[in-house]
Structure 1
Amino acid sequence: MPDDPLDLFRRTPREAVPADVRVLLSVGNCQAESVRAVMPEALTTVRTPPVHELTAADAEQLHAWLERADFVVLQPIRDDYRGLPVGTRQLLASTRAGTGIAVLPVIRFAGLYPRHLIIRPPSDTSLTPPVVAYHDAAVLMEAAGSALPPLTARAVAVIAAASIGELREREGRHGTVVVSDLFASPTFGSMRTINHPGNPVWAAVGARTLDALGLAEGPSGTAAPRDPGRPLLDSVHAPREPAVIDAFDLDAEPTSDWTVDGCIVPAAEVRIAHLRWYAEHPDAVTAGLHRHAATLRELAAA
């Protein structure tokens, strides 16, 4: 691997790879990079910047690679995302006729972490709270002057079912590879946070992606997913609550703290940092209460 993981991407396709080499691009957020990591070595994969980090120069380079790619894996991205022509439809317009295409949904599953939320403050949707980027519904309600009862297995089951339903809706709306069934009987190996799947999920998603591309191992296929040799999306692990363990009958011990880059971070430290952040960004509290009203109602009814 080159010292700069984007070295290949920043070179011109003509100079970077011979004409007879099969090239695969995986474009989207950090999940797209995890898909690339399990693609077989028989394919030359090009690491691209996460879509939210693309510059104008990166966008131009990405379109150049799309013109060369034999296979493209994409997540749904709206047109002119962050002012750049990197929407899914816009990117596909740069591919050649006959290019293999697979669209993957953005994977979020709240069943294992039912109190954790993603909130985008209207004043700046790129802002995230300090320490960990995930909002705890109990801390959000505290910032709003209220409180939540202890989490129950009933609330876990309701929120998990709703989360799978939302994932199925995204699959249907965007015509993606189906992954929602992977969370019917989840374990903590399935998800490290609400949007960071673990290696078992990526192995299954990789196999289904190859099948969608016509590359699945078999009489007419040529490839199977590979073991990336490292844990994927492993930098943050959320606490594991007893009610979740009970709801899914998991063989696991509860944890009360976060793990960030291998270090234990007490939940109390996260709470204090987030309450301070909410005081500085009250629009995040308002937005969170509105966006996650249904989830908050279920948690409050527990």
Structure 2
Amino acid sequence: MAPTDTFLIMGGERAGLNSLADHGDAVIARRAHYAAFFGDVAPPAGFGIVVGNCQAESLRLVISSDALPAIRVPAVHELDAADAKRLHALLAEAAFLVVQPIRDDYRGLPLGTAQLRAALPSAARAVTVPAVRFAGLHPFQAVLRLPDFPEDPPIVAYHDVRTVAAAAGIAVPPRLPATTVREIAAASIAELRRREAMGLDVSASDLFSPVVSDLARTVNHPGNALFLPLGERIVAALGHPGQVVDPGRPILASVRAPLESWVVDAWELDDAPEPDWIVAGERVSAAAVRDAQSAYYAAHPALLAAVVERMTPLLRTWAAAA
């Protein structure tokens, strides 16, 4: 993905606010969480910034050290005009920037990759990194951003091809053969490789072999098995090889999709299948998600049509395996 391309904002969970008091508490908590970004604490000397989608904070966690102190900033899709101005002011003092591909004037704000790099001091370093999706562990799953339908589906912000197919009256099997699982994985890696070839400084497409369960929690939420080696490449590109930091806990793990038995078999994983979703530490059955989303599609036929259109290639792959 070239620096001026659009990346899709992926997998953000949205929490409802029940009152003005809740809203005020959320604003206070957000400001405390991003204290250096908001100027409530001074950033460390030689600080840098990681900008991107939901994966950016995880990258910050694994690269931030005494050698490369990186301050926490909100995901790019959460920034408003005041935040964008604040980000540019910080970049003017930053020692380094790690950034995913973002188109110029993203959401009407100067948040494009090229625009952010231009805000840096002349001596600062900048490294572009890919936004990663991997379908090999969740070949039934899609995350979509539909401009005409901004709401996420209920419970989790992901669409299951089998639930969509059932709602649309399309026949697909409940599972795929191992060869098709591997084909879907290969296609997602090929797409990542195509984007990397458009001018990124660091690649990730070769980090999906061998396939292990910790590579991805969902189709767009990588796990530590991806973030740690990718972090090693970033710190090396910034001139500090060997400085990657293991956070000692699973990162980007607030939502985990089921690991189905036929996927385990396809990759010959050592892990036991996991039939449930994990959402904010709580188990949610796949049946509960399926039922809620089926009802949602039935109540929103125009949305269903848009989802089917966007998921047509995956629906065809699944239908061919019937």
Give your verdict on TM over 0.5. Answer: yes
User: Where does 1:86-105 land on structure 2 (aligned, <5 Å)?
Assistant: 86-105=111-130
Q: Give the drift of 1:174.
A: 4.0
Bigger drift between 181-190 and 289-298 goes to 289-298
1:36 aligns with 2:60: yes
Say which SS state the counterpart of residue 252 (structure 1) adopts: coil
Task: Give, in whole Å, the separation in 2 of the partners of 1:75 and 1:52.
Answer: 12
Gaps of 5+ in 1: 218-223
Instruction: Report the RMSD for the aligned CA atoms in angstroms.
Output: 1.8
Say which SS state the counterpart of residue 271 (structure 2) adopts: coil
User: Where does 1:257-272 land on structure 2 (aligned, <5 Å)?
Assistant: 257-272=276-291
Say which SS state the counterpart of residue 98 (structure 2) adopts: strand
Say which SS state the counterpart of residue 205 (structure 1) adopts: helix
Bigger drift between 34-43 and 161-170 goes to 34-43
1:48 matched to which residue of 2? Answer: 73
2:218–2:255 contact (8 Å) kept in structure 1: yes
Q: Percent identity?
A: 47
1:293 matched to which residue of 2? Answer: 312
Task: Give, in whole Å, the separation in 2 of the partners of 1:185 and 1:281.
Answer: 40
Task: Give, in whole Å, the separation in 2 of the partners of 1:133 and 1:260.
Answer: 11
Instruction: Report how many residues are paired.
Output: 290
1:254 aligns with 2:278: no
Task: Give, in whole Å, the separation in 1 of the partners of 2:94 and 2:193.
Answer: 29
Q: Give the drift of 1:95.
A: 1.0
> 1:104-148 CA distances to partner (integer Å, 9 max, x unpaired)?
111100000000011223313x32111111110000111212231
Mark the CA change 1:104 to 1:214 in structure 2 (over 3 Å): closer, same or farther: same
> Which letter maps to 2:183?
V
Aligned match of 1:277 in 293, 296, 315?
Answer: 296
2:17 matched to which residue of 1? Answer: none
Q: Give the drift of 1:279.
A: 2.9
> 1:209-252 CA distances to partner (integer Å, 9 max, x unpaired)?
011112213xxxxxx11122332011111111122112111112
1:156–1:243 contact (8 Å) kept in structure 2: no
User: Where does 1:11-26 land on structure 2 (aligned, <5 Å)?
Assistant: 11=39, 16-17=42-43, 21-26=45-50
> 1:74-109 CA distances to partner (integer Å, 9 max, x unpaired)?
011111111211111111111111211111111100
> Which letter maps to 2:42?
A
Say which SS state the counterpart of residue 9 (structure 1) adopts: coil
Task: Give, in whole Å, the separation in 2 of the partners of 1:56 and 1:212.
Answer: 31
Q: Give the drift of 1:296.
A: 1.7
Aligned match of 1:114 in 135, 139, 152?
Answer: 139
Mark the CA change 1:87 to 1:229 in structure 2 (over 3 Å): closer, same or farther: same
Q: TM-score, normalised by structure 2?
A: 0.85
1:59–1:84 contact (8 Å) kept in structure 2: yes
1:278–1:285 contact (8 Å) kept in structure 2: yes
Gaps of 5+ in 2: 1-29
